[in-house]
Structure 1
């Protein structure tokens, strides 16, 4: 059975492998081949996948393919966990240093002072990469993460009888190897040009699974494809950082529109659903919680602008907090799990334009003439419907009102409204 992973390792990938192994067990498959090309991914998902492989009764062969593919970071751990580790020509493996969530990556190695390099030293470099200097992590948290990852990958290497020293250097020093070098240094078992070549080369090999030692009979096997179903594709879409970001925006602006137009219902419902989906996606992504807090502050300020207009002060502050939070939100060091900078810039620009338009509407509304209430009557002009010198009737805004005056009034004369007393206007002629 064959399945593919062509993206960052995440919860959707872990779920896909788990169901693929279950399907392989149900079909009594002789081998599951996982073709992989990954830049890395999340630690939790990687460990879940490793546990699935280690507990599998079906032998698992991981094949880094096609040429030009890589098994970087999380992919290195998966390759070490597999029963058969294979790579296509012109592929690479390594760079498995863990990156701390919410912070920068490990520091660069200090430059080495080499006055002279002998041929023996150079050969040693090519063979073991021992001349790459590893620096001690700066914080206890970084040391803890790196040492834990070293123990993890060394355990996998010892279990599969692969090069544990190079595995440790891949974690501590972020070194990488090509397929041919990986084969020379016992990092992988096979270099195969394609899947049929892989199946021919592993035919007759013996591997240890949960049910004991199994001899592989793979030459000429019929390969069954295991495709990702709608659930896996949907989960992959939801956990994409750019999609989760859009869901957050849709949720915020949906609730904002509901605040401006109470009772509209549709914006509030759509906003609430999108916001819940975004929060679900954030829970299973590598989140920088300082960034998430900044985004929450920005959302609160933007919503506050809707309920307590401050002519842009709250809104502009909210946009700034939201943009900075967006930049920090997803860990920079986790490959494949970053928000596109262009997307953040576009959203910030659009939000700024909307905010400026809103402030402009507020300013025009502030300067506009009053169109209702007593203030409108005081600014209006009445027309006398008859001659009178004390009490009479006038027309104002298409309505007939009783009026009193202290000066004689002629029919059709324009009158200024001085005061409104109940249903009676006090008027006087224009000079």
Structure 2
């Protein structure tokens, strides 16, 4: 009996030990989960919000990491700072993966890549040229005090990020001050990134067992059998991202102007005014996500004013020409950024300017044509019309004009039945003369 209890006790302890060991082995009890999001295009407030929210969601759902597939030419400094701050404070491992092949991490993308716990690049990618890009107006001229302040601030920030992540701080500084740019092979050689990987599967295999130091703890990555969950961007994000496109913002602004112009030209039409107001509001939202040069906006507004004046003032096309020049200059200056992806393309500017100029020229043509057209209503429409005298007319009499009987008078004697022509209309009497036989 004693031996039976001893064996039972021994077996129970062995089973308990095995269960504890089994539970302590994450490979045997749970599967690591990594979220994946894709960021493609300019870094702006919309993409910053998306990344920050994705990090928060990964933390909330206890994901084992977040992989950010990145392909960007750069973007706004303020948006970049929000992303970097979220990366540095993240309580889940952040892996920035510059991919697919042909992608780049330019300008703001350099900061975002360096701030990740693990930085990876695909084959055929590049990183660098971290130019500071201002928001809300013109960037300072190179060599100015303001430009030096912005550059020095960016240099200090990128060095701090690189040192915190144990990356090459000297190269990071050159990427800002000298616009240095390197390939993925050079980036690995210079300790700018941690790995080169052709796909996410090989990336996860490469980082398996790596130790990541978070703000509050140290984590050993278990990624060999990790589950990948792609977090597709929601409808709201995709909509806001479209609005942040410079070409869309420009188009909405112009459509808003057209709508308001039609409404003010035809009060009570409602639909043009409502649509115009909506487009203007959407354009204003878009402008908040772009480095707008308000001088460009002023030139576009001035062009609209010139087009409207062309309808009212005879300038023989001078105002229209001035409007075209003003609109082209304003459209080019509208968004102040060295990044082509953040400027309005000429393929958008040229059709819009052409359509606007053509519209106002056509409106001007119709206006002048209407001015020369003979009046067909009211008493003025009777002048020049012909009729027949119903009685003798001198100081008084009656005439029949278009089936209507009018009281008439004349400076000459007109006999009943004669054809007459109306010279003028005074109250309810018409002045007539004999119709010329020539």
Normalization by structure 1: what TM-score? 0.87
Q: Which residue of 1 aligns with 2:430?
A: 425
- From 234, 240, 252, the equivalent of 1:247 is 252
Give yes or no for contact 1:244–1:282 (8 Å, CA) kept in 2. yes
Deviation at 1:50, TM superposition (A): 0.6
Of 334, 350, 374 in structure 2, the residue corresponding to residue 329 of structure 1 is 334
- State whether residues 62 and 84 of structure 1, in contact with CA within 8 Å, keep that contact through their aligned partners in structure 2: yes
Q: CA deviation at 1:303?
A: 5.2
Aligned partners of 2:307 and 2:357 also within 8 Å: no
Report the Cα offset of residue 100 of structure 1.
5.0
Structure 1 residue matching 2:230: 3-state secondary structure: coil
Structure 2: gaps spanning 5 or more residues: 1-34
* Residue matched to 2:108: 74
Which structure is larger by alpha-carbon Rg, 1 or 2?
Answer: 2
1:196 aligned residue (201, 206, 209): 201
In structure 1, the residue matched to 2:280 is 275
The alpha-carbon distance between structure 1 residues 9 and 400, as it changes in their structure 2 partners (threshold 3 A), is same
Q: Counterpart in 2 of 1:263?
A: 268
Kindly indicate whether residue 217 of structure 2 is the aligned counterpart of residue 206 of structure 1.
no
The range that moved more, 347-356 or 154-163, is: 347-356
Contact 1:42/1:334 (8 A) holds in 2: no
Alignment of 1:24-423 (within 5 A): 24-99=58-133, 103=138, 137-302=142-307, 308=312, 314=319, 316-388=321-393, 390-423=395-428
Please name the residue that 1:8 is paired with.
42
Distance in 2 (alpha carbons) for counterparts of 1:406 and 1:165: 103
**Are residues 429 and 30 of structure 1, via their aligned partners in 2, closer, same or farther at CA, if it must alter by over 3 Å?**
same
Q: 1:183·1:190 contact (CA, 8 Å) conserved in 2?
A: yes
Aligned to 1:90, the other structure's residue is in SS state coil
Query: Any idea what SS the aligned residue of 1:168 has?
Result: helix
Alpha-carbon spacing, 1:293–1:428, altered in 2? closer, same or farther (3 Å): closer
- Contact 1:3 1:226 survives alignment (8 Å): yes
Please state how far the C-alpha of 1:362 moved relative to its aligned partner: 2.2
Which is worse superposed, 183-192 or 288-297?
288-297
Q: For residues 369-418 of structure 1, give each alpha carbon's deviation from its aligned partner in whole angstroms, at most 9, with x where no partner exists.
A: 23344443332223212445553211224321011235443443221334
RMSD: 2.1
Is it true that 1:22 corresponds to 2:56 in the alignment? yes
Show the counterpart of 2:22. none
Question: Which residue does 1:115 correspond to in 2?
Answer: none
Residue 255 and residue 310 in structure 1: after superposition, are their counterparts in 2 closer, same or farther (change >3 A)? farther
1:309-330 deviation digits (Å, cap 9, x = unpaired) = 5566555534432221110111
CA contact (8 A) 2:304 2:323 kept: yes
More relative contact order in 1 or in 2 (CA 8 Å, sep 6+)?
1
* Partner of residue 32, structure 2: none
| Number of residue-to-residue matches in the alignment | 400
* Pair 1:404–1:90, CA change in 2 (3 A): closer
Q: Displacement, 1:97?
A: 1.9
Q: In 1, distance between residues paired with 2:260 and 2:310? A: 13
The 1-side partners of 2:376 and 2:122 are apart by: 77
**Cα distance, 1:427–1:292 mapped onto 2, change above 3 Å:** closer
Shift of 1:297: 2.8
Check the 8 A contact 2:409/2:429 in 1, yes or no: yes
Q: What 5-or-longer segments of structure 1 have no aligned partner?
A: 107-136
Cα-to-partner distance string for 1:332-382 (whole Å, 9 max, x where unaligned): 413521111111011111111112212212222232223344443332223
